[in-house]
C-alpha cells in the first residue's frame, strides 16, 4: 500500500508543476493579449512586436511541462516500467516539483503584467520595444531559477 501512496504523491508533484506553471502562463498571456489587442485595433502594423510580448509568459507553462515530463520519466510512466516508490521518495519528488510550480505560477502572472505595460511602450515609443522585452525577461529569470532548482533536486532523488 505504501508503494502506491508514494507513487500517487509523486504524480501529484508532476501535476502541480504542470498545472500551476500552465495556469500562470495562461493568466499572463491573457493579460498581455488584452493590452495587445487594444493596440492592434488602432495600429495593426505592430503585430510582430506585440506577438513577442504576448508569447513571453508562455514559457513558464513549457518549463512546468518539462519538469512534469521528467517526473513521469523518472517514475517510468513513459516507458511503462514503474519502480517501487516509497512515501519518502514520493514526498521528495513532490518537494522537487514545488519550485517550478510556485515560480511558474507567480512569474507567469507578473510577466503578463509587465508585458501588458510593454504594449503601451510599443504603442507610444516603438523604438523602445526591446526595453519592454528586457523588463519582461527579467521576470522570466525567476521561472528559470525555479526550473533549475526543480531539475537539480529531481536529479538527486534515487528511486
Look at residues 121, 111, 127 and name the one whose alpha carbon lies nearest to residue 24. 111
Tell me, what's the pLDDT at 83? 87
User: Are residues 143 and 106 in contact, defined by beta-carbon separation less than 8 angstroms?
Assistant: no
Tell me, what's the pLDDT at 107? 98
**Dist CA 54 CA 4 (whole Å):** 41
**Exposure of 60 in the CB half-sphere (CA atoms within 13 A):** 39
**Dist CA 136 CA 110 (whole Å):** 9
**Dist CA 152 CA 159 (whole Å):** 15
Quote the pTM value. 0.92
Give me the average pLDDT of each 10-residue run along the chain (159 residues). Answer: 83 98 98 97 96 97 98 93 92 98 98 97 95 96 98 95
Per-position b or e across 33-67, b if 16+ CB within 10 A of its CB: bebbeebbeeeeebeebbebbbebbbbbbebbbbb
Tell me, what's the pLDDT at 3? 57
Tell me, what's the pLDDT at 2? 54
Tell me, what's the pLDDT at 152? 98
Amino acid at each position: 500500500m505504501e508503494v502506491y501512496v508514494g507513487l500517487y504523491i509523486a504524480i501529484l508533484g508532476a501535476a502541480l508543476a504542470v498545472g500551476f506553471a500552465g495556469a500562470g502562463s495562461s493568466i499572463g498571456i491573457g493579460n498581455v493579449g488584452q493590452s495587445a489587442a487594444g493596440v492592434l485595433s488602432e495600429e495593426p502594423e505592430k503585430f510582430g512586436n506585440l506577438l513577442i510580448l504576448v508569447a513571453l509568459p508562455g514559457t513558464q507553462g513549457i518549463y512546468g511541462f518539462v519538469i512534469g515530463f521528467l517526473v513521469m520519466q523518472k517514475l517510468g510512466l513513459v516507458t511503462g516500467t514503474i519502480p517501487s516508490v516509497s512515501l519518502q521518495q514520493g514526498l521528495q519528488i513532490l518537494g522537487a516539483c514545488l519550485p517550478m510550480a510556485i515560480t511558474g505560477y507567480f512569474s507567469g502572472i507578473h510577466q503578463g503584467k509587465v508585458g501588458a505595460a510593454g504594449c503601451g511602450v510599443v504603442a507610444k515609443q516603438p523604438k523602445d520595444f526591446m526595453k519592454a522585452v528586457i523588463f519582461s525577461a527579467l521576470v522570466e529569470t525567476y521561472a528559470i531559477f525555479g526550473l533549475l532548482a526543480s531539475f537539480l533536486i529531481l536529479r538527486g532523488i534515487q528511486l
